[in-house]
Amino acid sequence: MKIRFILNPVSGNCPADPEAMARCIQLNFPGADMRLTKAAAHATELAREAVQQQFDVVVAIGGDGTINETARGLIGTQTALGVIPRGSGNGLARELGMPLAFEEAVMRLQRGHISLCDIGRANGELFLNVAGVGLEAEIAWQFMQHGKTGSRGKWPYFKLGAKTVFSYRPPIFRITADGHQMQDKPLTLVFANGRQYGSNFKIAPQANLGDNLLDMVAVQDAPKWKLVLALPGFFTDTWRPLGVTHTTRVKQVTLLHEGKFPYHIDGEPRQADGKLEISVEHHALKVLFPEK
């Protein structure tokens, strides 16, 4: 198997050791190619180069952002995407069943299998796992703006998130889902290709990466006590107490709202100008799943 590993050396909570990682990779995949990203979108460039050079697999080592960037260069090609997690939530990696320990993850890819998976599009831009609007998109957008002038990290994010949770007022969206029109103002509206955000928080426990559908999950703007009591249920596969979520399986959705509003793709914030179009593309990406 001709394989390339793409490492984002700045992802994760601790500094990467590229030399140690390279030794582990060579033990398991002798002759494998390894490249380090140097800037935003560099992973996409390296993935496209691998396609041109007829690599069988490109493995992204990083968080969901690095994985998303790598996948952009592989859509619709014969080169498969592999994933080794080095982020915080590691939503897609967990969905694929990847171990979080680097050495184990590399070994499990040795006898992995390739399957075709769907991808999502949000205003034409790729997402692999989840996209959405609402509270978490607002927090992600504000944190990105805050990071331009203030400090980053878990504590500033927590403080900003806590403040936003108590001040956020959901906007009203006009929604057209597969031709059906409705109006709603959910606390969060998620379009899930995979089941979870990350850290085993399963927003859409019945979602499937290969069924040509997205799970549109509306989390209602319920009283805070009700949301807190319902929270443990999101870490299970089936239990959803107190009826705080409603799920519809969709292929194409248009959201309309007066003025600009934030949304996210695989956790990365974006801003829409009055309109957000969501769609799914069936079996558009080959993915290397680890050995079970």
What is the domain partition of the chain in residue ranges?
3-111, 125-280
| Dist. CA 52–CA 48, nearest whole Å | 6
- Residue whose entry in the numeric block shows the structure tokens 């590399």: 106
Give yes or no on whether 3-111 and 125-280 have one common fold: no
Per-residue pLDDT at 146: 54
Per-residue pLDDT at 11: 81
* Residue ranges in the chain whose pLDDT is less than 50: none
- Which listed CATH number (2.40.50.140, 3.40.50.10330, 3.40.50.620, 3.40.50.300) goes with 3-111? 3.40.50.10330
Q: Per residue in 252-292, pLDDT tens?
A: 999 999 999 999 999 889 999 999 999 999 999 999 999 87
Per-residue pLDDT at 78: 97
Size of the chain in residues: 292
- Residue whose entry in the numeric block shows the structure tokens 């955000």: 197
**What does CATH list as the number for 125-280?**
2.60.200.40
